């Protein structure tokens, strides 16, 4: 590969190349110096749900790592949920399964966060059911962080985040969300998402420089046309040889 191309990868947000020669490039197999590697963490919230199977299948087919933050109530209420949960556990090389609470606050976030002891109990109940092999947790409906290196929590959720921290959890937020509309379908195009990834990493706008966490929700990808968009996003990101997909258990600074 010509050296000018290697250099251009890191001098421009990568999507800038999308309109030129990169459009015809296949995923590249080149070794990238460690200092230039950028780590991407795909995370899927709220499963097991309709859509989870497609997330598993797309990531498995693309051989990219992902982290599933699951709601224990969704796992425990049916064999459908348990089967999806087991599919994730069967591929520990690619997938992490982590705690996203038992009830997801039943959608009532203010009373949930105003009662941090019962909210903590909700996470501990989920831990018993999900039996995750890691100590990562993500709050329902709130972007908060608590690791060895990072702490970010609004006044509303801070009491719960401190309690989760005190019993050993790393609370994991995100840098970029693929939003969904009122029908649960992805709003941004895969191209727009890939461009945002490039921009956030290029301008060091992520929580941890060189590391970017993407939040998505399993239910966005139940329709094959939408799971194709997930595959498209992964394909676009794979065009940049500096991008590596990792599970969140390898995020820097975890307790
Ligand atoms: Zn959620």
Dist. CA 2 → ligand 1 center (Å): 44
Dist. CA 45 → ligand 1 center (Å): 5
At 221, is the secondary structure helix, strand, or coil? helix
Dist. CA 147 → ligand 1 center (Å): 19
Distance separating alpha carbons of residues 118 and 121, to the nearest angstrom: 5
Dist. CA 204 → ligand 1 center (Å): 26
Is 37-250 CATH 3.20.20.370? yes
Residues lining ion ligand 1 (Cβ < 5 A) are: 45-46
Dist. CA 70 → ligand 1 center (Å): 8
Dist. CA 174 → ligand 1 center (Å): 12
pLDDT, tens digit, for every residue of 105-162? 999 999 999 999 999 999 999 999 999 999 999 999 999 999 999 999 999 999 999 9
Distance separating alpha carbons of residues 147 and 165, to the nearest angstrom: 8
pLDDT, tens digit, for every residue of 8-42? 444 445 444 444 444 445 555 668 898 999 999 99
End-to-end alpha carbon distance in the chain: 40
């Amino acid at each position: 590969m010509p050296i000018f191309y290697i250099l251009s990868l890191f001098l421009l947000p990568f999507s800038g190349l999308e309109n030129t020669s990169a459009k015809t490039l296949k995923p590249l197999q080149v070794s990238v110096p460690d200092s230039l590697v950028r780590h991407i963490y795909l995370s899927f919230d709220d499963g097991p749900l309709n859509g989870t199977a497609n997330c598993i299948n797309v990531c498995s087919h693309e051989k990219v790592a992902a982290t599933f933050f699951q709601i224990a109530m969704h796992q425990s209420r049916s064999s459908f949920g348990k089967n999806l949960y087991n599919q994730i556990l069967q591929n520990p090389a690619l997938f992490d399964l982590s705690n996203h609470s038992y009830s997801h606050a039943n959608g009532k976030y203010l009373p949930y966060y105003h009662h941090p002891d019962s909210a903590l109990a909700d996470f501990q109940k989920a831990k018993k059911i999900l039996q995750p092999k890691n100590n990562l947790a993500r709050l329902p409906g709130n972007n908060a962080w608590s690791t060895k290196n990072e702490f970010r929590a609004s006044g509303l959720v801070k009491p719960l985040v401190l309690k989760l921290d005190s019993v050993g959890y790393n609370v994991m937020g995100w840098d970029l969300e693929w939003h969904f509309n009122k029908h649960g379908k992805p709003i941004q195009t895969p191209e727009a998402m890939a461009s945002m990834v490039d921009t956030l990493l290029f301008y060091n706008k992520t929580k941890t420089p060189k590391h970017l966490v993407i939040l998505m929700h399993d239910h966005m990808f139940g329709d094959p046309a939408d799971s194709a968009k997930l595959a498209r996003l992964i394909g676009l990101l794979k065009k940049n040889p500096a991008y590596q997909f990792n599970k969140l258990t390898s995020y820097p600074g975890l307790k």
